[in-house]
Amino acid sequence: MTTKRKRRRAPARTGTVASFATVKRISDRDEWRPDLYHRLLTARWSTLFGLLTVAYIVFNLVFAMLYWLQPGSIANEGEYTLLDSFFFSVQTMATIGYGDMRPATLYANLLVTGEVLLGMTGLAIATGLVFARFSRPTARVMFSNVAVVTPHDGVRTLMIRAANRRSNQILEAQVSVELLRDEVSSEGLEMRRFHDMKAARSRTPMFALSWTIMHPIDESSPLYGETLQSLRGMNGEIVVSITGLDETFSQTIHARHSYRADEILWDRRFSDILGLTADGRRSIDYRLFHETVET
C-alpha cells in the first residue's frame, strides 16, 4: 500500500532548521545594534524592493521639501509646486538633466551637490545588495518529507532521500547526520545533546540526481534500541546536512533538513524512482520522491 504525503516547504517547518530564527536572543549589551546588512540579505525579494522603493520616495520627498523652502531656487519651475520640486529631485538624483529646470541660487546648488553625493552613495549600496543576493550560491537540494527505518542487508537502517533539483552536479558532496535529544546528566542537569550518526556512505564525488543516505542501526548507533515512543519522549530529532562544491558557481553550497520523531516511519521503505524510458535512457520520477511502501 502506498502512502502519499503532501509536499511542504522547508521554511514552514517548526523543527531545528527553522527554530533558530524564532529564538529570542537577550543581549548582554545596553544598546541595540541590529545587523541591518544581514537582514537585507536574508529578507524576501518583495521586502527588499519594497524597502528600496520607500527609501527612494522618502529621499526625494525630503529634498523636494528643502528645494520648496526657498521660492525661486529652481529656474523654470512653473507654478512652484511641491510636485515640481519632487520631480526635479528625481532628475538630480538620477543625473538625468533634461535641461528644463535647473538650480538658480546658491542654496539650490548646495542642495544639488549634497543630493548627488548621497544619491550616488545610496545607489551604490542598493546595487551592492542586489548583486550580493544574485551572486550568493544556493543549493536546490530536495529532501524527502519523511525518513524511514527498514531492513537493509539484514540490519535495520535509517534512510533519508535527497535529490539535486538542478541539472548540474555537486562535486565532493559530504553528508553529516546528527541525533538531537533531551538528556539528563548524572548530576540531574537537563540538556540538549548532539550525537553523531555514521552514514554508510558519507561522501560522494558526484551528486547529480538522487542520494539515499543510510545509517545502520547497530550497537554503535545512538538509535539502537529506540522506538517511536522513546524518541517522542526524549524530543528526538534528526538533522541532516549536505555540503559540496557547485560545479557552476565553483563555490561551496549547503543544504540541511530535520526530521522530528513523528516524521520517521518505521518498517517502511521509499518507492523506487529510478527507471528507464522507452528509448533506453535513465529516468528519475520525482512524483514518487516522497512516497513510501510497506516492507
Residue 24 has pLDDT above 70, yes or no: no
Q: Which of 107, 135, 163 is the last residue in one of the domains?
A: 135
- β-strands 264-266, 147-152 pairing: parallel
Q: Is residue 5 part of a domain?
A: no
> Which band of pLDDT confidence, cut at 50, 70 and 90, is reported for residue 14?
very low
Q: Look up the pTM and report it.
A: 0.68
**Domain shared by 94 and 162, yes or no:** no
> Which band of pLDDT confidence, cut at 50, 70 and 90, is reported for residue 27?
low
Residue 104 sits in which domain range? 36-135
Q: The domain that contains 169 carries what CATH number?
A: 2.60.40.1400
Which pLDDT belongs to residue 7? 42
**Domain shared by 76 and 185, yes or no:** no
Q: Is residue 151 part of a domain?
A: yes
Q: Is residue 131 part of a domain?
A: yes
* Count of structural domains within the chain: 2
Q: How confident is the model over 87-115, as pLDDT tens digits?
A: 888 888 887 776 677 888 888 889 888 98
Cα–Cα distance between 174 and 205 in angstroms, integer?
9
**Domain shared by 233 and 251, yes or no:** yes
- Residue 127, CA distances (Å) to 3, 118, 249 in order: 48, 14, 20
**Domain shared by 194 and 181, yes or no:** yes
- Count of other CB atoms within 10 angstroms of residue 293: 15
Average pLDDT, the chain: 83
Which pLDDT belongs to residue 251? 85
**Domain shared by 43 and 176, yes or no:** no
Residue 15 has pLDDT above 80, yes or no: no
Percentage of the chain exceeding pLDDT 70: 86
Q: Which of 103, 135, 167 is the last residue in one of the domains?
A: 135
Which pLDDT belongs to residue 1? 43
Q: Is residue 31 part of a domain?
A: no
**Domain shared by 166 and 207, yes or no:** yes
* Closest among 249, 264, 248 to 215, alpha carbons compared: 264
**Domain shared by 281 and 155, yes or no:** yes
Which pLDDT belongs to residue 5? 45
**Domain shared by 63 and 177, yes or no:** no
> Which band of pLDDT confidence, cut at 50, 70 and 90, is reported for residue 241?
very high
Cα–Cα distance between 96 and 89 in angstroms, integer?
10
**Domain shared by 184 and 198, yes or no:** yes
Q: Is residue 288 part of a domain?
A: yes
Q: How confident is the model over 183-193, as pLDDT tens digits?
A: 888 888 888 89
Q: The domain that contains 51 carries what CATH number?
A: 1.10.287.70
Q: How confident is the model over 117-172, as pLDDT tens digits?
A: 998 998 899 988 888 888 777 778 899 999 999 999 889 999 999 998 888 889 99
**Domain shared by 194 and 272, yes or no:** yes
- Residue 103, CA distances (Å) to 75, 88, 89, 107, 108 in order: 6, 9, 11, 8, 5
Cα–Cα distance between 114 and 10 in angstroms, integer?
46
Q: Which of 83, 105, 135 is the last residue in one of the domains?
A: 135
